[in-house]
Amino acid sequence: EHFIIQDLSISTDAVDFLITCPDVPGMYNVWGVAQPLGAACQDVTLQHLTISHTTLQPLQSNGAYRGSRTLNLLGADIRILDSTVSTQNTVAMFLINPKNSIVSGNVFLDGKISTIQIFTSQRTIIENNEISATDPGGFCIDTQGQAYYLYVANNYIHDCQGTYGEGFTTDTPYLPYRLGRPATINASDGSFTYSEPLIDPNRHVPAGSRIDLSNGYIAVVVGGTGIGQMKRITANTYTKVSVESPWQVPLDATSVIDLQVDKSQNVFYQNRFLNTSVAVQLYSQAYENVIDGNTSTDTGGFWCVGTDSIVPATSSTTVRRFEYCYYNEWVNNVLNGNLPDSNINKEHQMGYPNAFIGLVGGATVPSGLNSTGLTLDPLVILIGNSVRDNQLQNNNTIGFSYGRNMTHPSIMPPNRDSIMSLDFVVEGNKVQSCQPAQGSARSSPVGVDIYPGAVDSLLGNNQVSDCLTPVWNSSQR
């Protein structure tokens, strides 16, 4: 704890881990810290460093990834400032539980399979950095677990093509800790109970352990009365969950509550993205995030991804994977050009290559009782999102879409809930020149695209020019 490393050059290809704090066995876990370590750093500064870190072998003798890391830190009040970090076959920066921390003024050159990863972050600033991949196997930056009060501003993020190629993504976990109707609801304090115990699904903890939701978890109403509300969880037992305050709209027996990791109230401001599969990707449980004043050139666009499907949890059990996208805003962003071969286009393409700003909902779950034995309440994936005052040029589209290989015209697929997007606002945007992307013979014919399953969308004061179809509205109303 409480140390500074500054004004130092380090060059090595002989170690897997370069700067690690705290120095405990869990910090060398290949896939991250599985359990609380009982130790953490506090008040640590790394500044004016020049680091070249290469591990000669990315894999162990058994073929498994070595898990190498350059800056490997867990704790609060961590400052990484004005340094240059060049890496190969390693994680350039691995921050775990950063609170009240700052990463500013750095240059990260991510070589083969190198990346930046942030786990379970609160109140952390990432600003004025240049982050790029120096070969096709390099990544840029992603967050895992909780992402709350992140401020990501004035960064230049470019040429990220490794695996999915995201410029910045909020990723994992995907499965809810509990999704369903509570047994009882206390109107006076907002707490609720379940008839079955809350069991931690983490495979690294002893079987039957009670999950602790008191730090970094939220309760969101995703169906029934009071839909769209969110409360932070303050305490829980095996069967009871307490929240910060009573629900503004009281819940009842129809209310469906999703207990999930908190990924809310993050700001992405005036960043530049170039040649990435996606610029900012809100992936899984996005609530009240702001994407403001960013520039995206030759990327797959800005996405918020939600889904509703039945997936295997173990070899013998299945769960409902539900991911929402509620009350997020894209404002004053500029998109120019696209990346037609981006991963996001391959996974969610709408029958034509384009860059996209808006919402993706992939639902395969019908209402009622499924063959899995799960009772499937009708839920809404996307609520209250807005796209305002953005400028899109050269084959870019605004909209709400779902599924893969989507075509026009389209109708609502059978066995899907009647509402997938509620209260989507698109206003004051400029969409110009839906022309074929470089290297493609096809053009993006649609300026604003509203797919089936959208209810109560508001489109106003948008200017669409040089597009075959200015607005394609297939919504219910």
Q: What is the pLDDT of residues 342-366, one digit of tens each?
A: 655 556 555 556 678 888 877 666 5
Res 371 pLDDT > 50: no
- Comparing 420 with 261, the larger pLDDT belongs to 261
What pLDDT digit, counting tens, does each position of 220-256 carry? 999 999 999 999 999 999 999 999 999 999 999 999 9
Report the relative pairing of strands 230-236 and 240-243 from DSSP bridges: antiparallel
Q: Which range scores top for mean pLDDT: 295-309, 321-335, 343-357?
A: 321-335
Residue 35 is predicted with a pLDDT of 59
**Using one digit for the tens of pLDDT, what is the confidence trace for 26-35?**
888 766 665 5
pLDDT of residue 348: 54
Q: Cα–Cα distance between 454 and 78 in angstroms, integer?
A: 43
The percentage of residues in the chain with a pLDDT greater than 70, rounded to a whole number, is 84
pLDDT tens column, 118-148: 999 999 999 999 999 988 778 899 999 999 9
> Residue 377's pLDDT is what?
81
What pLDDT, on the 0 to 100 scale, is given for residue 78?
A: 97
Question: What per-residue confidence (pLDDT) applies to 29?
Answer: 79
The pLDDT of residue 356 is: 81
Where residue 394 falls among pLDDT bands split at 50, 70, 90? confident
Q: Residue 396's closest CA among 279, 267, 240?
A: 279
Higher pLDDT among residues 466 and 48, named by residue: 48
Edge-to-edge strand ranges of the sheet holding 256-261: 178-180, 256-261, 217-223, 230-236, 240-243, 192-193, 184-185
- pLDDT higher than threshold 50 for residue 390: yes
Work out the average pLDDT over 187-199: 92
When the pLDDT of each residue in the chain is averaged and rounded to a whole number, the result is 86
Of the two residues 427 and 61, the one the predictor is more confident about is 427
Phi-psi region of 2 (alpha: psi -120 to 50; beta: other; left: phi over 0): left
Q: What angle do CA 380, 384, 318 make, to 5 degrees?
A: 25
Output the pLDDT for position 370: 46
pLDDT tens digits along 413-464: 554 556 788 999 999 999 987 765 455 555 556 889 888 788 899 999 999 9
How confident is the model at residue 369, as a pLDDT?
Answer: 43
Whole-number pLDDT of residue 419 = 77
Higher pLDDT, residue 289 or 178: 289
Reported as type and span, the H/E element at residue 309 is strand 301-312
With bands split at pLDDT 50, 70 and 90, how would you rate the model's confidence at 185?
very high
Q: Per-residue pLDDT averaged across 53-76, rounded?
A: 85
Burial code (b: 16+ CB inside 10 Å, e: under 16) for 74-86 equals: bbbbbbbbbbebb
In this prediction, residues 67-91 reach a mean pLDDT of 95
Q: Which of 232-246, 282-296, 374-388 has the least mean pLDDT? A: 374-388
Stretch 98-111: mean pLDDT, rounded? 96
CA distance 226 to 220: 10
Q: What is the mean pLDDT of residues 382-388?
A: 96
* Predicted local confidence at residue 209, as pLDDT: 79
pLDDT reported for residue 435: 62
User: Which pLDDT belongs to residue 200?
Assistant: 75
Is residue 310 very low, low, confident or very high in pLDDT (cuts 50, 70, 90)?
confident
Q: What is the mean pLDDT of residues 56-80?
A: 86
Q: Please state, in angstroms and as integers, the Cα–Cα distance from residue 179 to each residue in 8, 175, 200, 373, 446, following that order.
A: 50, 9, 14, 14, 36
